[in-house]
């Protein structure tokens, strides 16, 4: 069992840390090489990985805030992994500034002259312009980081007996801020790639993917820690069962929102709306669209349906990896048709840049875990979480 009186510096080996650094180096090389050969592809790939990992970090903080507001006892012994994911946010802020410097390559509205004379776009100039875009990026990340630091300051002070009273206020504020800011963040980074198109459910669609993939990542974190016996005796198959149920539920929720967005646009048949799906049903992109339906909903839905599936570590691990991969493909599907209309482009550029972000995300998350006990030792619900049982 873990010695809760010491910080587990032994958690991550030097070999693992070197691997993360190697991933980051590959990412820098891939981005630099792609910038030389095709700058539009470089920034498109950067956007995919940036949005994917920023969403995971926000999803971790959302999970933490939600547990506190509901006074959830079962999740105390796995909460640290979600907290670790949120530690990527300050790095994401820095990367957002890097992205802003190259955003003119992929957003036509960065040049106002492209919008003059287009009646549909002229009305959006006050919102879609570099200055307001930059201001929103700074405001969003500043709010997220301040609230993350506020929540972490309270939750990491394990001996605070009134922790749950103190953490309610920042958790409520975060959920309110998150609901609005993440929707606008999705609009700014993804929907505005085609400024003619709009969907009022787009923010909810991205939130559904965010939380589905966040749950999958937490499951992988927990399974790895269990394999290493770091949390043996504190986390059991009952915790996995509850995480599996949540993953199953949000897999269904994602499908519901995805279908709602598609069905309403298909039924209304308005040109300003249908252009989005027409681009993704033409050429090779139709296969990606079908793959999302099959591998992000149908396969995980069936795979997580039986009770035993939510309690089997190897099975749950495979499903979680599949969902994370398909979440990346989903973001790729939202971005890349604006770069390549009919041909799928996926090679060293996309893989290398993704590995760079993955290395940084894992490095920041594991550094967080090294500094803090994996189990919130003096949490008032610690015993409840340790003895947690699922009876249904």
- Residue by residue, DSSP assigns 62-100 as HHHHHHHHTT-STTGGGHHHHHHHHTTHHHHHHHHHHHH
pLDDT recorded at residue 13 = 78
Residue 232: strand pairing partners = 235
Which of 341, 62, 36 is CA-nearest to residue 194?
341
Residue 18 forms part of a structural domain: no
**pLDDT per residue of the chain (392 residues) written in tens, 0 to 9:** 444 434 454 467 788 889 999 999 999 999 999 999 999 999 999 999 999 999 999 999 999 999 999 988 899 999 999 999 999 999 999 999 999 999 999 999 999 888 888 888 888 999 999 999 999 999 999 999 999 999 999 988 756 567 888 899 999 999 999 999 999 999 999 999 999 998 999 999 999 999 999 999 999 999 999 998 888 889 999 999 999 999 999 999 999 999 999 999 999 998 888 999 999 998 999 999 999 999 999 999 999 999 999 999 999 999 999 999 999 999 999 999 999 988 999 999 999 999 999 999 999 999 999 888 888 877 888 888 888 887 66
C-beta atoms surrounding 180 within 10 Å: 12
Rounded-to-integer distance, Cα 240 and Cα 77, Å: 12
How high is the pLDDT of residue 97?
97
Would you call 357 exposed, middle or buried from its count of C-beta atoms within 10 A (0-12, 13-18, 19+)?
buried
Copy the structure tokens of residue 33: 């090489």
Cα dist. 153→71, 79, 82 in Å? 18, 14, 15
pLDDT of residue 6: 41
Map tokens 């920023």 to a residue: 54
C-alpha 188: how far from chain center: 16
Instruction: Evaluate whether residue 264 is within a structural domain.
Output: yes
* Per-residue tokens: 319: 């499903």
The answer to whether position 225 is within a domain reads yes
Separation CA 362–CA 357 (nearest Å)? 9
CB atoms within 10 A of CB 281: 13
Residue 241 in any domain: the answer is: yes
Q: Which residues constitute the domain of residue 253?
A: 36-381
Q: Give the Cα separation of 134 and 316 in Å (integer).
A: 40
Please name which of 307, 269, 363, 266 lies closest in space to residue 27, comparing C-alpha atoms: 363
Evaluate whether residue 389 is within a structural domain.
no
Are the beta carbons of 323 and 216 closer than 8 angstroms?
yes
Instruction: Read off the tokens for 102.
Output: 């190259």
Comparing C-alpha atoms, which of 316, 315, 391 is closest to residue 74? 391
Number of domains in the chain: 1
- Give the integer Cα–Cα distance in Å for 327 and 216: 10
Is the residue at 1 inside a domain? no
Q: Say which residues have a Cβ less than 8 Å from residue 290's Cβ, sequence separation at least 6.
A: none
Here the tokens at position 196 are 């003619």
In a domain, 59, yes or no: yes
Whether 392 is covered by a domain: the verdict is no
| Cα gap 287→41, rounded to integer Å | 21
Contacts of 32 (CB under 8 A, 6+ apart): none
Report the pLDDT value the prediction gives residue 232, as an integer from 0 to 100.
87
Tokens 């199953």 sit on residue? 248
Would you say 128 and 192 are in contact if contact means Cβ atoms under 8 Å apart?
Answer: yes
């Amino acid at each position: 069992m873990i010695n809760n009186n010491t910080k587990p510096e032994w958690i991550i080996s030097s070999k693992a840390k070197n691997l993360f650094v190697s991933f980051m180096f590959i990412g820098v090389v891939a981005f630099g090489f792609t910038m030389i050969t095709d700058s539009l592809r470089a920034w498109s790939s950067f956007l995919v990985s940036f949005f994917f990992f920023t969403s995971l970090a926000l999803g971790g903080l959302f999970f933490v805030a939600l547990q506190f507001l509901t006074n959830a006892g079962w999740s105390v012994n796995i909460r640290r992994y979600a907290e670790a994911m949120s530690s990527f946010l300050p790095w994401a802020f820095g990367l957002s500034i890097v992205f802003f410097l190259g955003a003119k390559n992929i957003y036509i509205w960065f040049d106002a002259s492209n919008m003059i004379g287009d009646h549909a776009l002229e009305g959006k100039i006050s919102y879609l312009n570099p200055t307001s875009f930059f201001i929103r990026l700074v405001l969003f990340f500043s709010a997220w980081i301040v609230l993350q630091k506020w929540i972490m300051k309270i939750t990491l002070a394990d001996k605070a007996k009134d922790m749950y009273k103190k953490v309610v206020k920042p958790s409520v504020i975060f959920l309110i801020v998150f609901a609005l800011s993440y929707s606008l963040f999705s609009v700014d980074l993804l929907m505005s790639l085609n400024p003619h198109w709009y969907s009022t459910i787009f923010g909810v669609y991205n939130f559904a993917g965010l939380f589905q993939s966040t749950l999958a990542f937490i499951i992988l974190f927990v399974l790895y820690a269990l394999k290493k016996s770091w949390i043996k005796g504190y986390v059991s198959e009952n915790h996995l069962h509850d995480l599996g149920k949540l993953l199953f539920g949000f897999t269904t929720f994602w499908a519901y929102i995805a279908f709602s967005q598609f069905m309403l646009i298909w039924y209304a048949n308005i040109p300003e709306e249908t252009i989005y799906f027409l681009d993704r049903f033409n050429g090779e992109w139709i296969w990606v669209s079908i793959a999302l339906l099959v591998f992000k909903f149908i396969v995980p839905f069936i795979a997580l349906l039986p009770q035993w599936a939510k309690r089997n570590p190897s099975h749950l691990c495979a499903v979680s990896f599949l969902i994370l991969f398909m979440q990346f493909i989903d973001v790729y599907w939202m971005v890349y048709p604006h770069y390549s209309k009919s041909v799928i482009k996926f090679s060293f550029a996309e893989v290398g840049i993704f590995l760079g972000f993955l290395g940084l995300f894992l490095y920041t998350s594991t550094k967080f875990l090294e500094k803090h006990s994996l189990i919130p030792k003096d949490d008032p619900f610690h015993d409840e979480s340790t003895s947690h049982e699922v009876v249904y």
